[in-house]
Amino acid sequence: MNPHLVCVGGEDHAFRIPFLLSLRQKGFQVTAVSSGLDTAFSQHDIPHHRYGFDRFSSGSGGAIRTIGKLISDLRPDIVQSFDTKPNLLTPLAIRGRVPVIRTINGLGWTFSSLQPRAMALRPVFCGLQWLSSLWTAATVFQNRDDRAFFERYRLIARGTGRLIRSSGIDIDGFTRARQSAPSPRAMREQLGLSSAEVIIFVGRLTREKGIPTLLEAVPRVLEKRPNARFVLVGPWESEGPFAVDKSEIERHSPHVIALGPRRDVPALLGMADLFAFPTQYREGVPRVLLEAGLAGLPVVASDMPGCNEVIEPGWNGYLVPAGDANSLAARINEILSDRAKGAEMGARSVEFVKQHFALPLVVDQYCDLYEHVLGASPSGVTARQASRLQSDVAIGGLGEVSQ
């Protein structure tokens, strides 16, 4: 009988559809649970169940109850969770009834911001991670920095974390999307960028993703590359208190173009000359860096956890200090002034991504882990631990940790 795996995530869970389809090809029965919409999952005949959750709200008791009931009804053999809040909610909702695998794909806003509220919440976050670990069969990390953090603060037992870099990139799917899209020249003409040097960013247009730093770098780039244009792809209206105000972007028009969310990211990457990713966020392994690498783009990114798993400075791009607009602009100018070197960097990234982050490689590692967990004897949790996990204080604190 095929093992039934339920995969729990947040509102962007649909990006993991290729991962779920690959697991299905490996013989797993897969069901998705997320706070997003059903549409994308139904297009691929993946059963999907939605739980209501607002990234910016306080209180998580309702989501815990909903996830717990869903798991009881679905009766899976194993549960996989992704994203900050689902990784905390899911073990608390299941409480050892089914083995749970958590994937720590970044440490979120709490460890990215220097705001007093974020600093105050860090001990809460650590406590909740430790509590959730008591109901977790295995913890997967996407980068070495996050694994070292959890071990240093004893949020997991030393040596028990598994490193699986990224959720994998569907190389064939990316290639098909590029081939079926308009040509780079046609894309540039559509956007009025025919002769421009195009720097592209893809991601949420938030302060934590470094958009203010990128905007600060714009005039510094234009001083030496007056034909440069910056294209920003991603949502901002849905980003609540973290969003960059649209007026901040429009202030740099026409040198900066904000396209909002797009479904043709592979085509947009194909028309660009360079990918800029000035995040101040502790990433897992950013999917957009893998896509930029497959597109053959040189990358200038922040020297942050996750980014340094993909970019080797001077080889396939550059890493700059987070929040440093001068360094960001200098490296962008350096690459644009030596296009041959930039092309070499981009070509290296293509092969690097294929070799280390291809979806089949990642899925095989997860399948090995699932088989190991399913074959292991279930580990019990003491009554004292269960009592502590059900405390109102622990569950109430979940609403304050941003996804």
Please tell me the predicted confidence (pLDDT) of residue 57: 52
Q: What are the extents of the domains in the chain?
A: 4-168+358-400, 172-357
Q: Is residue 252 pLDDT above 90, yes or no?
A: yes
Instruction: Grade residue 329 by pLDDT with cuts at 50, 70 and 90.
Output: very high
Q: Is 393 exposed, middle or buried (0-12, 13-18, 19+ CB in 10 A)?
A: exposed
Q: Residue 382, class by beta-carbon neighbours within 10 Å (0-12 exposed, 13-18 middle, 19+ buried)?
A: exposed
Average pLDDT over every residue of 277-281: 94
CATH number belonging to domain 4-168+358-400: 3.40.50.2000
pLDDT (average), residues 183-191: 95
pLDDT-derived band at 239 (thresholds 50, 70, 90) equals low
Q: Do domains 4-168+358-400 and 172-357 have the same CATH topology?
A: yes
Helices (H), 134-183: 144-152, 171-180
CATH 3.40.50.620, applies to 172-357:
no
Label residues 29-43 b or e (16+ Cβ within 10 Å = b). ebbbbbbbeeebbee
Alpha helices in 234-358 (DSSP H): 246-250, 265-270, 287-294, 325-337, 339-357
The answer on pLDDT for 397 being more than 50 is no
Q: What is the mean pLDDT of the chain?
A: 89
pTM: 0.88
Concatenate the DSSP letters of all residues of 10-42 into one string: -TTGGGGHHHHHHHHHTT-EEEEEESS-SHHHH
Range 133-169 burial, b when 16+ CB lie within 10 A, else e: bbbbbbbbbbbebbbebbbeeebbeeeebbebbbbbb
